[in-house]
Amino acid sequence: MNFQSDIENAITVLRNGGIILYPTDTIWGIGCDATNPRAIKRIYALKKRDESKSMIVLVADEKDILKYTSNPDLRIFDFLKNTKKPTTVIYDGAIGLANNLVHVDGSIAIRLVKDVFCKNIVKRLRKPIVSTSANISGEKPPQFFREISEEIKRGVDYVVKYRQDDETKYEPSSVVKWKRDGTVIVLRE
């Protein structure tokens, strides 16, 4: 299967409220439309994850951050341009996303994705997508596609073919909390 048809299949599933297993700019992830509460609920159930633990959202452009957060500090964009590793930022004031994705304090974790495959999906879907590691909650996140459990593979509606044979070691993103005063708190290197 080629890159383009894999993207089209993934988008069709996402638009129909399904969940996908896909490679990200970090590790393999489980994803869905970040505005669809039913799909998000399915991911929590599949991962056996407590719904009070929010998940990461992937966006394709800086304007998406402006669309899904209220009044973000624009200095974040300079900060992100200078990061080498994929970096997830926790923003206050999530808007336009499914309520069961937003943390109880109103914050949301967003990563501006640079990976071409993910960026294509987000741009073509025209909505942010959920990204959570492809494992049962509490288990070690898989480094490679071959390490993903059959339970996870069977629990999604579409498994992306792209990069299944890739043995490049990827790591989870750095996670930072961006305070309104411009202070950055590193939560995960």
Distance, in Å, from the CA atom of 141 to the CA atom of 164, rounded to the nearest integer, reads 15
- The torsion angle over the Cα atoms of residues 131, 159, 85 and 187, rounded to 10 degrees, is 30
Q: Along the chain (189 residues), what's the average pLDDT of each consecutive run of 10 residues?
A: 88 98 94 98 96 93 94 88 92 94 94 94 97 94 94 98 91 86 87
What residue type is assigned to position 43 of the chain?
I
Q: Which contiguous run of DSSP H or E holds residue 21?
A: strand 20-23
Say whether 150 sits in a helix, a strand or coil. Answer: helix
Q: What pLDDT sits at residue 126? A: 96
- The CATH architecture one would assign to domain 3-188 is Alpha-Beta Complex (3.90)
Q: What pLDDT sits at residue 86? A: 93
Which of 172, 173, 168, 170 lies closest to 80, judged by CA? Answer: 173
Q: What pLDDT sits at residue 5? A: 92
Query: If you ran DSSP here, which 8-state letter would residue 8 be given?
Result: H
Q: What pLDDT sits at residue 6? A: 94
Distance, in Å, from the CA atom of 46 to the CA atom of 167, rounded to the nearest integer, reads 25
Residue ranges per structural domain of the chain: 3-188
Q: What pLDDT sits at residue 162? A: 94
Distance, in Å, from the CA atom of 51 to the CA atom of 125, rounded to the nearest integer, reads 25
Tokens representing 181 are 């005063």
Q: What pLDDT sits at residue 1? A: 57
Distance, in Å, from the CA atom of 139 to the CA atom of 124, rounded to the nearest integer, reads 32
